[in-house]
C-alpha cells in the first residue's frame, strides 16, 4: 500500500516536472514569437503571458529575473539555432571557410530574429550587472579554429583568434542594434569577423 | 545693439546647470550600478528639482547617458593628447586610444548604461548618434601622414567596431580590464591590418 502511494506520488511529481518544463519552453517560444512582430521595448511580461497562455505570476515563477532573464533564455535558444544553421556545410568546409560559413548561418538566424538580437545587445548588460549571462561564443569558435589549423598555419593561438572574433562580432551586433548597419552590411561583416581577427593578428 | 543682460545670464545659468547635471550623473555612476540610478537621485545630488532635470533632458536618463558618454569620449581622447611631438603617426593615435581606454575604464557604469540604452532608444526610433564618430578626425589626420593606400574612413569604421566590441565584451564581463585596455589601444593598428590587403 505504502509502496503504491509512493509510486503514485512519484508519478505526480514526474507529471508536475514535465508540465513545468513544457510551460517553461512555451514562455520562451511565446517571447520569440512576439519579437517577430514587435520591437523589444514593446514586449512586456503580461504580453508574454497572454501569448503563452499562462498567468503573469506563472511567468515570474519560471523566471524570477523577469524580462532580462526571459530574453537571456530566448536569445540562448536563438543562438543555438544559429550555431547549427549551416552545420552540414560547416562540417564539409575547409580552411577559413569553416568559420565564414558558420558565422554566416549565425548572422542569418540573428537577422531573421532581428528584434530578439537587438534585445540581446541591450539586456545582456542588465544580466551582467546581476552576475550572469551566456557563455562566450569564443568557446564555440575555438574548436572551429582548431580545425582551420589543420589546413593552414595560424599566426597566434586559436584561443586568441576566437577571442578577438567574438569581440568584433559583439561590436557588429551592437552597431547593428542601433541601426548603424543595414542587415546586408551586418551579414557581410559578421561572416568576415573571423577573417578580420586573423588579419588583425598576422 | 542692446544686449539683453537677463537673457545672457539666464543662458549662462542654464548651461552651468546642464553641465552640473551631467557631472552629477557621472559621479553617481562611480558608485551606483546604472540600473539603480534614478532622476530623483541625480536631482538630489545636484541640489535641483526633478522637473529641472526633465527641462534640461526631456529624454530623461537616455539623454543624460548620451551626453555623459559624449563628454567621456571627448575627455578620453584628450587625456593623453600631448601633441604629435616626436611620436610617429601610429604611436600618436595609439596614445589617444590609451587615453580613451583609461578614461572608459574609470567609468564602467557609464559604458554599461550607454551600451544598454542605445539599442532601446534605437528600437523606439530615436537613436541618432554614432558617438564613436569622434574618432574619425584624428584618424584622418594621422592617416594623411602615413600615406597608406587605404581609406581612412574604412579604418575609422573598423576601429570603432573593435572598440564597440571591446566595450560590450567588457561591460558584459566577457573580457578583463587588461584585455579591454589592450583591444582599445591596439584597435587602430588592428583596423589598418584588417583594411589592408
Confidence tier at A125 by pLDDT (50, 70, 90): confident
Lowest mean pLDDT among A41-55, A65-79, B118-132, B137-151: B118-132
Q: Do B162 and A167 touch (CB under 8 A)?
A: yes
Using alpha carbons, list the distances in angstroms from residue A113 to A177, B32, B80.
12, 33, 42
Q: Which pLDDT value is given to residue A16?
A: 77
Q: Is B33 on the interface with A (CB under 8 A)?
A: yes
Lowest mean pLDDT among A5-19, A28-42, A115-129: A5-19
Q: Which pLDDT value is given to residue A135?
A: 78
Q: Do A39 and B124 touch (CB under 8 A)?
A: yes
Summarize the confidence of residues A173-187 as an average pLDDT.
Answer: 94
Q: Which pLDDT value is given to residue A136?
A: 85
Q: Do A196 and B33 touch (CB under 8 A)?
A: no
Nearest residue, CB atoms, A170 vs list B34, B122, B165: B165
Sequential pLDDT tens for chain B (197 residues): 567 888 878 777 778 899 999 999 999 999 898 889 999 999 999 999 999 999 999 988 988 998 999 999 999 999 999 888 889 999 999 999 999 999 999 999 999 999 988 888 888 887 766 788 889 999 999 999 888 888 999 999 999 999 999 999 999 999 999 999 999 999 999 999 999 97
Q: Do B123 and A118 touch (CB under 8 A)?
A: yes
Q: Which pLDDT value is given to residue B128?
A: 64
User: Residues 3-62, chain A: which have Cβ within 8 Å of B?
Assistant: 39-41
Q: Do A123 and B118 touch (CB under 8 A)?
A: no
Other C-beta atoms lying within 10 Å of the C-beta of residue B3:
7
Nearest residue, CB atoms, A180 vs list B130, B166, B171: B130
Give the ipTM. Answer: 0.89
pLDDT at residue A1 above 60? no
pLDDT at residue A132 above 70? no
Q: Do B172 and A133 touch (CB under 8 A)?
A: yes
Q: Do B172 and A124 touch (CB under 8 A)?
A: yes
Domain architecture of chain A: domains with CATH: 1-64 (1.10.10.60), 71-202 (1.10.357)
Lowest mean pLDDT among A24-33, A184-193, B13-22: B13-22
Summarize the confidence of residues A11-37 as an average pLDDT.
Answer: 87
Q: Is B59 on the interface with A (CB under 8 A)?
A: no
User: Residues 165-184, chain B: which have Cβ within 8 Å of A?
Assistant: 165-166, 168-169, 171-175, 179, 183
Nearest to B79 by CA among B105, B98, B94: B98
The percentage of chain A sitting over the pLDDT mark of 90, rounded to a whole number, equals: 70
Q: Do A174 and B165 touch (CB under 8 A)?
A: yes
Residue B90 half-sphere exposure toward CB, CA atoms < 13 A: 13
Domain architecture of chain B: domains with CATH: 59-195 (1.10.357)
More confident call, B121 vs A34: A34
Q: Is B32 on the interface with A (CB under 8 A)?
A: no
Nearest residue, CB atoms, B165 vs list A119, A133, A168: A168
pLDDT tens per residue across span A161-179: 999 999 999 999 999 999 8
Q: Do B119 and A121 touch (CB under 8 A)?
A: yes
Taking one residue from A and the other from B, the number of pairs with CB-CB distance under 8 angstroms is: 116
Amino acid at each position: 500500500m505504502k509502496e503504491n502511494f509512493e509510486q503514485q506520488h512519484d508519478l505526480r511529481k514526474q507529471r508536475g516536472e514535465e508540465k513545468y518544463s513544457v510551460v517553461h519552453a512555451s514562455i520562451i517560444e511565446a517571447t520569440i514569437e512576439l519579437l517577430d512582430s514587435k520591437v523589444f521595448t514593446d514586449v512586456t511580461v503580461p504580453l508574454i503571458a497572454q501569448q503563452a497562455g499562462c498567468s503573469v505570476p506563472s511567468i515570474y515563477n519560471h523566471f524570477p529575473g523577469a524580462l532580462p532573464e526571459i530574453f537571456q533564455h530566448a536569445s540562448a535558444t536563438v543562438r543555438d539555432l544559429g550555431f547549427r544553421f549551416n552545420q552540414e556545410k560547416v562540417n564539409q568546409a575547409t580552411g577559413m571557410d569553416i568559420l565564414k560559413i558558420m558565422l554566416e548561418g549565425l548572422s542569418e538566424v540573428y537577422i531573421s530574429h532581428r528584434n530578439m538580437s537587438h534585445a540581446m545587445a541591450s539586456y545582456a548588460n542588465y544580466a551582467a550587472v546581476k552576475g550572469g549571462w551566456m557563455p562566450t561564443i569564443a568557446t564555440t569558435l575555438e574548436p572551429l579554429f582548431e580545425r582551420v589549423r589543420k589546413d593552414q598555419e595560424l599566426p597566434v593561438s586559436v584561443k586568441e583568434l576566437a577571442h578577438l572574433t567574438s569581440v568584433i562580432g559583439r561590436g557588429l551586433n551592437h552597431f547593428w542594434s542601433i541601426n548603424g548597419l543595414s542587415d546586408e552590411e551586418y551579414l557581410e561583416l559578421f561572416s568576415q569577423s573571423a577573417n578580420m581577427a586573423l588579419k588583425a593578428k598576422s | 545693439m542692446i544686449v539683453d543682460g537677463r537673457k545672457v545670464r539666464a543662458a549662462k545659468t542654464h548651461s552651468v546647470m546642464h553641465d552640473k547635471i551631467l557631472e552629477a550623473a557621472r559621479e553617481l555612476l562611480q558608485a551606483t550600478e546604472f540600473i539603480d540610478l534614478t532622476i530623483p537621485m541625480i536631482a538630489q545630488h545636484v541640489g535641483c528639482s526633478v522637473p529641472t532635470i526633465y527641462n534640461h533632458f526631456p529624454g530623461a536618463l537616455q539623454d543624460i547617458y548620451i551626453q555623459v558618454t559624449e563628454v567621456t569620449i571627448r575627455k578620453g581622447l584628450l587625456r593623453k593628447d600631448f601633441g604629435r611631438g616626436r611620436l610617429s603617426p601610429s604611436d600618436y593615435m595609439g596614445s589617444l586610444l590609451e587615453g580613451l581606454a583609461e578614461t572608459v575604464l574609470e567609468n564602467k557604469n557609464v559604458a554599461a548604461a550607454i551600451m544598454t540604452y542605445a539599442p532601446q532608444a534605437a528600437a523606439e526610433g530615436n537613436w541618432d548618434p554614432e558617438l564613436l564618430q569622434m574618432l574619425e578626425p584624428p584618424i584622418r589626420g594621422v592617416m594623411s601622414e602615413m600615406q597608406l593606400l587605404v581609406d581612412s574612413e574604412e579604418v575609422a569604421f573598423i576601429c570603432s567596431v573593435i572598440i564597440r566590441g571591446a566595450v560590450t565584451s567588457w561591460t558584459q564581463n566577457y573580457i578583463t580590464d587588461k584585455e579591454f585596455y589592450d583591444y582599445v589601444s591596439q584597435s587602430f593598428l588592428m583596423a589598418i591590418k584588417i583594411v589592408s590587403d
